[in-house]
């Protein structure tokens, strides 16, 4: 890292000029540094294709990014009778958060049909395919899809998902959005964001364990507690830091913080559901395996369903 000088702030990221937001040339440099490291077709589309015949597979759009085109797929479970509530599960809004994708697919393969007679279940395993392949937070345009769920979205992935669920507004009982908080949030993605936006980078800490994000505009503490109680059988729950916070937000209950979901353009705010949560698995702990991380996501979905259907 460069040291501060009279000429301007220190550089903390290899792209751009410190203190100045990125322009198109900087985005192009950033994009050139991204490498395809895994296959959306092999990992996601083929897994979804194996569900055909048992579950209904929908293609709800396509994202064209550079020379690549990605079909966007969702899976519907149940006969979709109008007298049944809808539960939405989303994964891979941030493509690098692996267990969100693997957990959604594992839930579909092993558990989803058990709920077919009580609920209309809609699962989108991987919202951001380009980012999934590059193990990236942002999309092709260096835009964060999970700050882009709003009108005139700059993210085609976000816009496509909003289009899929728009006809369901008022019918969705619960939405579980599957995420991770990784060590690379601190070493790569937060510095990149600060550089992109022309801001100073202020180091933070990564919580050691699983936590949830509730909706500040519609808090549901009993719902969040039910999920935490179930997931702690699988992985450890993140404690508050010395200031009583997790990633800069006050801890309102064990392993729970709150964000204003719709105001911030977050995925979990797109349906207006009564019950919403964003899971945050910690995959970099030496105390967990990738299989445990995926299982934690499944357990969170199962606990959410048990809670909301028990309230029905």
* pLDDT tens-digit map of 258-286: 999 999 999 999 999 999 999 999 999 99
Closest-CA residue to 296 (of 87, 44, 47, 98): 98
pLDDT over threshold 70, residue 10: no
What whole-number percentage of the chain has pLDDT above 90? 93
Give, in degrees to the nearest 5, the angle at Cα 185 between 180 and 186. 140
pLDDT tens, residue by residue, 185-232? 999 999 999 999 999 999 999 999 999 999 999 999 999 999 999 999
What is the structure's pLDDT at 267? 98
Mean of all residue pLDDT scores within the chain: 95
When pLDDT is averaged across residues 133-153 and rounded to a whole number, the result is 97
DSSP assignments along the chain, one per residue: -PPPBTTBPPP-SSSS-TTS---HHHHHHHHHT----S-HIIIIIHHHHTTBTTBEEEEEEEEEETTEEEEEEEEEES---TTS-EEEEEE-SSTT-HHHHHHHHHHHHHTGGGGTTT-EEEEES-S-HHHHHHT-SS-TTS--GGG--STT-S-HHHHHHHHHHGGGTTTEEEEEEEEE--THIIIIIHHHHHHHTT---------SSBEEEEETTS--HHHHHHHHHHHTTTSPBPPP-TTSEETTEE--BTTEEEE-TTTTT-GGGSS--SEEEEEEE-TT-TT--HHHHHHHHHHHHHHHHHHHHHH-
Q: How far apart are CA 189 and CA 171, in angstroms?
A: 35
Q: How far apart are CA 119 and CA 97, in angstroms?
A: 27
Instruction: Write down the pTM of the prediction.
Output: 0.95
The Cα-based distances of 260 to 78, 80, 127, 199, 221 in angstroms read 31, 30, 21, 22, 15
When pLDDT is averaged across residues 23-51 and rounded to a whole number, the result is 98
pLDDT over threshold 70, residue 239: yes
When pLDDT is averaged across residues 107-131 and rounded to a whole number, the result is 97
Buried b (16+ CB within 10 A) or exposed e, 179-189: bbbbebbbebb
């Amino acid at each position: 890292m460069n040291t501060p000088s009279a000429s301007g702030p220190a550089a903390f990221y290899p792209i751009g000029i410190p203190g100045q937001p990125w322009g198109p040339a900087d985005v192009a440099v950033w994009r050139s540094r991204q490498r395809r490291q895994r296959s959306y077709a092999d990992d996601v589309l083929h897994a979804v294709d194996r569900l055909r015949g048992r579950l209904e597979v929908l293609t709800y759009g396509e994202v064209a990014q550079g020379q690549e085109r990605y079909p966007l797929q969702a899976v519907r479970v149940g006969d979709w009778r109008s007298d049944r509530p809808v539960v939405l599960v989303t994964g891979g809004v941030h493509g690098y958060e692996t267990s969100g994708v693997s957990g959604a697919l594992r839930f579909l393969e092993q558990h989803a049909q058990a709920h077919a007679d009580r609920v209309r279940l809609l699962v989108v395993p991987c919202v951001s395919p380009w980012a999934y392949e590059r193990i990236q937070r942002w999309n092709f345009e260096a835009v964060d899809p999970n700050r882009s769920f709003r009108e005139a979205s700059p993210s085609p992935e976000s816009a496509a998902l909003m289009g899929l669920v728009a006809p369901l507004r008022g019918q969705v009982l619960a939405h579980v959005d599957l995420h991770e908080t990784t060590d690379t949030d601190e070493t790569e993605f937060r510095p990149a964001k600060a550089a992109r936006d022309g801001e100073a980078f202020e180091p933070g800490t990564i919580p050691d364990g699983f936590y949830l994000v509730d909706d500040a505009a519609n808090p549901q503490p009993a719902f969040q507690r039910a999920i935490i109680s179930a997931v702690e059988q699988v992985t450890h729950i993140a404690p508050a830091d010395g200031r009583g916070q997790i990633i800069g937000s006050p801890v309102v209950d064990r392993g729970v913080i709150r964000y204003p979901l719709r105001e911030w353009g977050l995925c979990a705010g797109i349906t207006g559901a009564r019950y919403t949560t964003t899971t945050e698995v910690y995959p970099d702990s030496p105390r967990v395996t990738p299989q445990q991380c995926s299982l934690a996501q499944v357990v969170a979905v199962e606990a959410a369903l048990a809670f909301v259907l028990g309230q029905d």
